[in-house]
Structure 1
Amino acid sequence: MTELAPRTQKGPIVPRSEPVAIAALVPADSPRSGEVDLAYARSLMEVRELPPILVCRRTMRVIDGMHRLTAATLAGRADIDVRYFDGDEKEAFVQAVQANLHRGRRLSQQERAAAARRIVAAYPQWSNRAIAQAAGLSTKTVAAIRRRSTGNEPQLNSRVGRDGRARPVDPSVGRERAAAHLREHPDASLRQIAEAAGISVGTARDVRARVERGEDPVGRRAAVRDDRVLLTAVERNNRLRVPDPRPAVAPVKDPLAVLTRDPSLRFSEAGRQLLRLLDNRALLDAGGDALSAAVPLHNRAALTAAVYQHIDTWLAFLSMLERAG
């Protein structure tokens, strides 16, 4: 049987039920953490017609209905009405989770999280959103579970969404493929670009518009801003380094120490603020590596831009000092 797609998580269930000997059934591989609640099962014994239980045809394992099965056993019955599920064990587990999300004794948050971990292991190609729908959790919770479950293991380049379509985990990959296809086939339709790159038609339209405007197809604005800020800082720094006709000032060995000892700075609010701004010894000492390592890779460009913004600010302040001097 083909692999269960996210958009058909309910699976192929035979609509008709039939009586099956209780002795032929295998207890459920349940997403529940505890044993069958006997008190709840006894309360079901009073129900005249219980709904059929769901059983995996391949293994005869109960998917949904262990409390009903226990009630029938306690009542001394030899058989029970069954509907069959035609799928493998992985599909059957997803179906068991789905069946216990909205009916009967619903799964707890901890049980749904444990079920999501099993689904991530069974279907790593599924998107976080598809697993969230299957396990009754938020997408953010599933993303955290996936990070803890897979650790440093290699990750798939694409995942299957709820609609059954595979999409790249990193959307920039598909955009770059679309731009490359567009350069080789400038007359290609949006649908042809989308199919070649594995992206949506809307994304293909956006890539084509960016390429026609001469922009980056991925839209890496942070990197462009990074270069612009760097250029601004370098240009301003070069302007400030024009030879000064005034007499040269003898260099100070430890200028921060000299300023720190100055009472006019130490005992005024503006002076103390200036000293705090000037004290960057954490960067000059061994702490610089730790500060750099604390920033995740996806924010390095933003950090670089922020540093250059501060450089621009200090260069402007230096220009004020030189004009005042």
Structure 2
Amino acid sequence: MAVDALVPGDSPRAGDVDLDYARSLMATRELPPILVCRRTMRVIDGMHRLTAAMLAGRREIDVHYFDGDDEEAFVQAVQANLHRGRRLSQQERSAAAHRILAAYPQWSDRAIAQAAGLSTKTVAAIRRRSSGDGPQSHIRVGRDGRARPVDAAAGRRRAAAYLRENPDASLRRIASAAGVSLGTARDVRARMQRGEDPVLRKDTGALAEPVPLAAVEAGEDLAVPMRHRVAHNDPLAVLARDPSLRFSDTGKRLLRLLDNRALVGAERDLLLAAVPRYSRAVLIAAVHQHIDVWRAFVNVLDQAS
């Protein structure tokens, strides 16, 4: 691409291009391709490389094209500057998060935190400070792309109201009408059939330690009051008490696959310490592969519901 055909982009960086840094790149024989919005020819990532090319008298530069709108391009620019080159400062990342929040108020704090390179706690604080800037969405879209209600209780009440008027409705229809997940719709229907309140009440006295799978495989009696053994909302513990899973080889295998407690707390740190730096990229790829497999498995479960 001809350098004079490119337009400076909407950078998440504060201030102008650092000429000293650009000059330090002039001696690089093969500059990595810059990222350009195909629709506008604006530079999304690589202004220092473009400046270096221009200072060196180059007429062309390698580019990768990005297809998307201006706000998508801005998020891409932030992401690109988090992991290479001159990384964004804390102040620049906070400003970027504020803009991303304004453009995508429906995104969850965790999704914005990942996009801007901040902690979820910091993004939550930014959201609280900017809550008066515009209308607030009642839905949050997480990193997995799935929409979830901000107020889960309100969604459950909508599902219950829809069920009272449409007692024969399918789970998919209930979930769509109430703006909740299939799992929530299923739980609301089951609670109403048992005559229970469709809105969950948090059990603050419960312990947060999962049932050991060794106990499951040994066939121990797990009919212990929940508050003495496990958090009320621990799905693994609920599955572990199901006899059809506890006493079958296939069920035990599924429970073992679901047991990821080693990835939490001190044991997680031990596992990470055992992975050499040169293997971490491979580990990340392997983890993403597992996530994709589980996501496909969840889709099958949803379709079978």
- Shared topology, TM-score over 0.5? yes
Highest CA radius of gyration, 1 or 2? 1
Cα shift at 1:153: 4.1
Partner in structure 2 of residue 48 of structure 1: 29
CA distance in 2: counterparts of 1:166 and 1:144, whole angstroms: 21
| Range moving further from structure 2, 198-207 or 98-107 | 198-207
Partner in structure 1 of residue 298 of structure 2: none
Partner in structure 2 of residue 132 of structure 1: 113
One-letter code aligned to 2:130: S
CA distance in 1: counterparts of 2:116 and 2:101, whole angstroms: 10
Q: Secondary structure at the match of 2:61?
A: strand
Residue of 132, 155, 166 corresponding to 1:174: 155
Cα shift at 1:121: 1.3
Q: Does 1:96 align with 2:94?
A: no
Cα shift at 1:189: 4.1
One-letter code aligned to 1:32: R
* TM-score scaled by length of structure 1: 0.58
One-letter code aligned to 1:177: R
One-letter code aligned to 1:193: I
- Structure 1 stretches of at least 4 aligned residues deviating more than 4 Å after TM superposition: none
Partner in structure 1 of residue 9 of structure 2: 28
User: What RMSD over aligned residues (CA atoms) do the two structures have, in Å?
Assistant: 2.1
CA distance in 2: counterparts of 1:87 and 1:196, whole angstroms: 31
Partner in structure 2 of residue 270 of structure 1: none
Q: Secondary structure at the match of 1:159?
A: strand
CA distance in 2: counterparts of 1:85 and 1:153, whole angstroms: 29
Q: Does 1:147 align with 2:150?
A: no
After superposition, residues 260-275 of structure 1 pair within 5 angstroms as: none
Partner in structure 2 of residue 12 of structure 1: none
Partner in structure 1 of residue 212 of structure 2: none
After superposition, residues 53-72 of structure 1 pair within 5 angstroms as: 53-72=34-53
Partner in structure 2 of residue 262 of structure 1: none
State the identity %: 80
| Range moving further from structure 2, 90-99 or 142-151 | 142-151
One-letter code aligned to 2:57: G
Q: Secondary structure at the match of 1:72?
A: helix
CA distance in 2: counterparts of 1:189 and 1:79, whole angstroms: 59
Q: Does 1 or 2 have the higher relative contact order (CA < 8 Å, sep 6+)? A: 1
Partner in structure 2 of residue 75 of structure 1: 56
Q: Secondary structure at the match of 2:82?
A: coil
Residue of 176, 180, 186 corresponding to 1:205: 186
Q: Unpaired runs of 5+ in structure 1?
A: 1-19, 223-325
One-letter code aligned to 2:125: A
Q: 1:139 to 1:26 in 2, by over 3 A?
A: same
Cα shift at 1:207: 1.6
Q: Secondary structure at the match of 2:197?
A: coil
Q: 1:153 to 1:72 in 2, by over 3 A?
A: closer
CA distance in 1: counterparts of 2:161 and 2:3, whole angstroms: 61
One-letter code aligned to 1:164: G
Q: Secondary structure at the match of 2:130?
A: helix
| Count, aligned residues | 203
Partner in structure 1 of residue 142 of structure 2: 161
* TM-score scaled by length of structure 2: 0.61
Cα shift at 1:111: 0.9
Deviations 1:144-171 (A, max 9, x none): 1112123274322223332333332211
Deviations 1:223-269 (A, max 9, x none): xxxxxxxxxxxxxxxxxxxxxxxxxxxxxxxxxxxxxxxxxxxxxxx
One-letter code aligned to 1:52: P
Partner in structure 2 of residue 291 of structure 1: none
CA distance in 1: counterparts of 2:184 and 2:24, whole angstroms: 55
